[in-house]
Amino acid sequence: MQIEYAKVSALGDRQDNQDRAAVVVSEKAALMLVFDGMGGHSDGARAAETGLKVVQDLFMAATQPIFDPQGFLYMALSRAHDEVVRIGEEVAVDFRPRATCAVCLVQEGGTFWAHIGDSRIYHIRNGAVRSRSRDHSHVEVLIQEGAITEEEAENHPMRNFVECCIGGDAQVPDMSITHKQGLQYGDVLLACSDGLWSGLKDKDIAQLGVPGEKNLVQNLKALSIKALGINAPYSDNTTGTALRWLGL
Protein backbone atom coordinates (compact mmCIF):
# COMPACT_ATOMS: atom_id res chain seq x y z
CA MET A 1 0.00 0.00 0.00
CA GLN A 2 1.51 3.30 -1.12
CA ILE A 3 0.32 6.48 0.56
CA GLU A 4 1.41 9.91 1.71
CA TYR A 5 -0.10 11.48 4.79
CA ALA A 6 0.01 14.61 6.92
CA LYS A 7 -1.41 16.04 10.13
CA VAL A 8 -1.96 19.56 11.42
CA SER A 9 -3.45 20.94 14.64
CA ALA A 10 -3.47 24.62 15.57
CA LEU A 11 -4.67 26.37 18.72
CA GLY A 12 -6.53 29.18 16.98
CA ASP A 13 -7.95 31.90 19.21
CA ARG A 14 -8.67 29.53 22.09
CA GLN A 15 -6.87 29.06 25.40
CA ASP A 16 -6.51 25.29 24.99
CA ASN A 17 -6.34 22.87 22.09
CA GLN A 18 -9.02 20.25 22.75
CA ASP A 19 -8.61 18.51 19.37
CA ARG A 20 -6.71 15.26 18.99
CA ALA A 21 -5.64 13.63 15.72
CA ALA A 22 -3.52 10.77 14.40
CA VAL A 23 -2.74 8.74 11.30
CA VAL A 24 -1.92 5.12 12.10
CA VAL A 25 -0.30 3.14 9.29
CA SER A 26 0.50 -0.55 8.80
CA GLU A 27 1.55 -2.49 5.70
CA LYS A 28 -2.05 -3.28 4.74
CA ALA A 29 -4.20 -0.50 6.20
CA ALA A 30 -4.23 3.06 7.48
CA LEU A 31 -6.54 4.80 9.92
CA MET A 32 -7.13 8.56 10.03
CA LEU A 33 -8.59 9.91 13.27
CA VAL A 34 -9.82 13.33 14.37
CA PHE A 35 -11.55 13.89 17.72
CA ASP A 36 -12.80 17.36 18.60
CA GLY A 37 -13.36 17.92 22.32
CA MET A 38 -16.48 20.00 22.88
CA GLY A 39 -15.40 23.21 24.58
CA GLY A 40 -18.72 23.88 26.26
CA HIS A 41 -18.35 20.78 28.38
CA SER A 42 -15.98 19.72 31.13
CA ASP A 43 -12.59 18.55 29.87
CA GLY A 44 -13.32 18.16 26.18
CA ALA A 45 -9.63 17.48 25.63
CA ARG A 46 -9.83 14.40 27.83
CA ALA A 47 -12.85 13.15 25.89
CA ALA A 48 -10.99 13.61 22.60
CA GLU A 49 -7.81 11.99 23.87
CA THR A 50 -9.65 9.05 25.42
CA GLY A 51 -11.76 8.41 22.34
CA LEU A 52 -8.78 8.55 20.00
CA LYS A 53 -6.72 6.18 22.13
CA VAL A 54 -9.50 3.58 22.31
CA VAL A 55 -9.99 3.50 18.53
CA GLN A 56 -6.27 3.65 17.79
CA ASP A 57 -5.48 0.77 20.16
CA LEU A 58 -8.26 -1.40 18.71
CA PHE A 59 -6.95 -0.80 15.20
CA MET A 60 -3.38 -1.64 16.15
CA ALA A 61 -4.53 -4.86 17.85
CA ALA A 62 -6.68 -6.00 14.91
CA THR A 63 -5.62 -8.30 12.09
CA GLN A 64 -5.22 -6.24 8.93
CA PRO A 65 -6.72 -5.71 6.49
CA ILE A 66 -9.80 -5.45 8.70
CA PHE A 67 -12.19 -8.32 7.86
CA ASP A 68 -15.41 -6.37 8.53
CA PRO A 69 -14.56 -2.66 8.18
CA GLN A 70 -18.04 -1.33 8.92
CA GLY A 71 -18.45 -3.62 11.92
CA PHE A 72 -15.03 -2.63 13.20
CA LEU A 73 -15.78 1.08 12.96
CA TYR A 74 -19.10 0.69 14.76
CA MET A 75 -17.52 -1.40 17.51
CA ALA A 76 -14.55 0.95 17.92
CA LEU A 77 -16.62 4.12 18.18
CA SER A 78 -19.10 2.42 20.51
CA ARG A 79 -16.26 1.45 22.83
CA ALA A 80 -14.79 4.94 22.60
CA HIS A 81 -18.17 6.36 23.59
CA ASP A 82 -18.51 3.95 26.51
CA GLU A 83 -15.07 4.87 27.83
CA VAL A 84 -15.73 8.62 27.58
CA VAL A 85 -19.04 8.10 29.40
CA ARG A 86 -17.21 6.15 32.10
CA ILE A 87 -14.66 8.88 32.81
CA GLY A 88 -17.48 11.41 33.18
CA GLU A 89 -19.70 9.39 35.52
CA GLU A 90 -18.90 11.52 38.57
CA VAL A 91 -19.86 14.75 36.80
CA ALA A 92 -23.38 16.13 36.30
CA VAL A 93 -24.78 15.02 32.93
CA ASP A 94 -24.76 18.51 31.42
CA PHE A 95 -21.04 18.89 32.17
CA ARG A 96 -19.72 15.47 31.19
CA PRO A 97 -16.85 15.40 28.67
CA ARG A 98 -17.94 15.05 25.07
CA ALA A 99 -16.35 15.04 21.62
CA THR A 100 -17.23 14.78 17.95
CA CYS A 101 -15.13 12.55 15.72
CA ALA A 102 -14.26 11.49 12.18
CA VAL A 103 -12.51 8.19 11.44
CA CYS A 104 -11.41 7.04 8.00
CA LEU A 105 -10.15 3.51 7.28
CA VAL A 106 -8.11 2.93 4.12
CA GLN A 107 -7.33 -0.58 2.87
CA GLU A 108 -7.40 -2.74 -0.26
CA GLY A 109 -7.84 0.19 -2.61
CA GLY A 110 -10.84 1.66 -0.85
CA THR A 111 -11.99 3.69 2.12
CA PHE A 112 -14.66 3.40 4.80
CA TRP A 113 -15.81 6.39 6.87
CA ALA A 114 -17.42 6.80 10.26
CA HIS A 115 -18.29 10.04 12.01
CA ILE A 116 -20.30 11.42 14.89
CA GLY A 117 -21.20 15.11 15.10
CA ASP A 118 -19.72 17.78 12.84
CA SER A 119 -16.17 16.54 12.37
CA ARG A 120 -15.94 15.85 8.63
CA ILE A 121 -14.35 13.63 6.00
CA TYR A 122 -13.76 14.80 2.42
CA HIS A 123 -12.85 12.78 -0.68
CA ILE A 124 -10.97 14.89 -3.23
CA ARG A 125 -10.25 13.79 -6.80
CA ASN A 126 -8.63 15.76 -9.63
CA GLY A 127 -8.82 19.04 -7.76
CA ALA A 128 -12.51 18.79 -6.83
CA VAL A 129 -14.44 17.61 -3.78
CA ARG A 130 -16.05 14.34 -4.87
CA SER A 131 -17.99 13.75 -1.65
CA ARG A 132 -18.06 14.65 2.02
CA SER A 133 -19.67 13.35 5.19
CA ARG A 134 -22.92 14.96 6.33
CA ASP A 135 -22.89 16.55 9.77
CA HIS A 136 -25.10 15.43 12.62
CA SER A 137 -26.25 19.00 13.16
CA HIS A 138 -29.40 21.08 13.03
CA VAL A 139 -28.26 23.13 10.05
CA GLU A 140 -27.32 20.01 8.06
CA VAL A 141 -30.89 18.76 8.49
CA LEU A 142 -32.16 22.09 7.20
CA ILE A 143 -29.80 21.88 4.21
CA GLN A 144 -30.94 18.36 3.34
CA GLU A 145 -34.59 19.43 3.63
CA GLY A 146 -33.94 22.33 1.26
CA ALA A 147 -34.91 24.88 3.91
CA ILE A 148 -31.56 26.70 3.70
CA THR A 149 -28.55 26.72 1.39
CA GLU A 150 -24.95 25.84 2.25
CA GLU A 151 -24.16 29.56 2.15
CA GLU A 152 -27.01 30.43 4.52
CA ALA A 153 -25.84 27.72 6.91
CA GLU A 154 -22.53 29.54 7.39
CA ASN A 155 -24.25 32.32 9.35
CA HIS A 156 -27.18 30.41 10.81
CA PRO A 157 -27.64 31.07 14.57
CA MET A 158 -27.68 27.30 15.25
CA ARG A 159 -24.68 26.45 13.05
CA ASN A 160 -22.71 25.15 16.06
CA PHE A 161 -25.53 22.99 17.46
CA VAL A 162 -24.48 19.32 17.26
CA GLU A 163 -27.16 16.65 17.55
CA CYS A 164 -24.95 13.77 18.70
CA CYS A 165 -21.46 13.15 20.08
CA ILE A 166 -19.42 10.62 22.02
CA GLY A 167 -19.72 10.94 25.79
CA GLY A 168 -22.55 12.36 27.86
CA ASP A 169 -25.55 10.03 27.78
CA ALA A 170 -24.93 6.30 28.15
CA GLN A 171 -26.80 5.35 24.97
CA VAL A 172 -24.54 4.80 21.96
CA PRO A 173 -24.96 7.86 19.71
CA ASP A 174 -26.09 7.81 16.11
CA MET A 175 -23.14 7.39 13.79
CA SER A 176 -22.79 7.43 10.02
CA ILE A 177 -20.75 4.61 8.48
CA THR A 178 -20.23 4.40 4.73
CA HIS A 179 -19.91 1.51 2.32
CA LYS A 180 -16.58 1.06 0.56
CA GLN A 181 -15.59 3.90 -1.74
CA GLY A 182 -12.95 3.09 -4.34
CA LEU A 183 -9.75 5.12 -4.55
CA GLN A 184 -7.87 6.19 -7.66
CA TYR A 185 -4.24 7.26 -7.96
CA GLY A 186 -3.83 10.75 -6.52
CA ASP A 187 -7.08 10.81 -4.55
CA VAL A 188 -6.83 12.71 -1.27
CA LEU A 189 -8.85 12.09 1.90
CA LEU A 190 -9.23 14.77 4.57
CA ALA A 191 -10.59 14.18 8.08
CA CYS A 192 -10.97 17.40 10.05
CA SER A 193 -12.58 19.25 12.93
CA ASP A 194 -15.12 22.01 12.29
CA GLY A 195 -12.42 24.54 13.09
CA LEU A 196 -10.78 23.63 9.78
CA TRP A 197 -13.73 23.32 7.43
CA SER A 198 -15.85 26.20 8.76
CA GLY A 199 -15.30 29.33 6.72
CA LEU A 200 -13.68 27.43 3.84
CA LYS A 201 -15.32 26.70 0.51
CA ASP A 202 -15.12 23.33 -1.22
CA LYS A 203 -12.80 24.91 -3.79
CA ASP A 204 -10.36 25.77 -0.97
CA ILE A 205 -10.40 22.26 0.44
CA ALA A 206 -10.06 20.79 -3.06
CA GLN A 207 -6.61 22.39 -3.36
CA LEU A 208 -5.29 19.44 -1.35
CA GLY A 209 -5.98 17.20 -4.34
CA VAL A 210 -4.85 19.27 -7.32
CA PRO A 211 -3.30 16.90 -9.90
CA GLY A 212 0.48 17.02 -9.93
CA GLU A 213 0.69 18.74 -6.54
CA LYS A 214 2.78 16.52 -4.27
CA ASN A 215 3.49 18.47 -1.07
CA LEU A 216 0.63 17.25 1.09
CA VAL A 217 2.23 18.38 4.36
CA GLN A 218 2.76 21.94 3.13
CA ASN A 219 -0.67 22.15 1.51
CA LEU A 220 -2.49 20.95 4.62
CA LYS A 221 -0.62 23.49 6.72
CA ALA A 222 -1.53 26.24 4.23
CA LEU A 223 -5.18 25.20 4.39
CA SER A 224 -5.08 25.41 8.18
CA ILE A 225 -3.52 28.88 8.06
CA LYS A 226 -6.21 30.04 5.63
CA ALA A 227 -8.98 28.74 7.90
CA LEU A 228 -7.44 30.46 10.91
CA GLY A 229 -7.25 33.75 9.01
CA ILE A 230 -10.85 33.57 7.81
CA ASN A 231 -12.20 32.74 11.27
CA ALA A 232 -10.01 35.18 13.25
CA PRO A 233 -10.37 36.60 15.85
CA TYR A 234 -12.79 33.83 16.85
CA SER A 235 -11.05 30.84 15.29
CA ASP A 236 -11.50 27.45 16.89
CA ASN A 237 -8.92 24.70 17.30
CA THR A 238 -8.08 23.81 13.70
CA THR A 239 -7.16 20.18 13.08
CA GLY A 240 -6.92 17.84 10.12
CA THR A 241 -5.35 14.66 8.82
CA ALA A 242 -4.85 14.09 5.09
CA LEU A 243 -3.90 11.02 3.07
CA ARG A 244 -3.02 10.70 -0.61
CA TRP A 245 -3.60 7.31 -2.27
CA LEU A 246 -0.78 6.20 -4.58
CA GLY A 247 -1.70 2.56 -5.14
CA LEU A 248 -1.48 -0.94 -3.67
Whole-number Å distance between alpha carbons of 245 and 248: 9
Whole-number Å distance between alpha carbons of 197 and 176: 18
With contact defined as beta carbons under 8 Å apart, do 85 and 56 qualify? Answer: no
How far out from the chain centre does Cα 196 lie?
10
Whole-model pTM over 0.75: yes
Residue range 2-247 forms a domain whose CATH class is alpha beta
Q: What is the pLDDT of residues 33-91, one digit of tens each?
A: 999 999 755 689 999 999 999 999 999 999 999 999 999 999 999 999 999 999 988 77
How confident is the model at residue 168, as a pLDDT? Answer: 86
Q: What is the pLDDT of residues 197-212, one digit of tens each?
A: 998 999 999 999 887 7
Q: Where are the domains of the chain?
A: 2-247
Q: What is the pLDDT of residues 126-174, one digit of tens each?
A: 999 999 999 988 787 787 777 777 776 666 666 667 888 999 888 899 8
With CA atoms as reference, report the closest residue to 227 among 71, 46, 9, 29: 9
Which amino acid is located at 122 in the chain?
A: Y
Mean predicted lDDT score pLDDT of the chain: 91
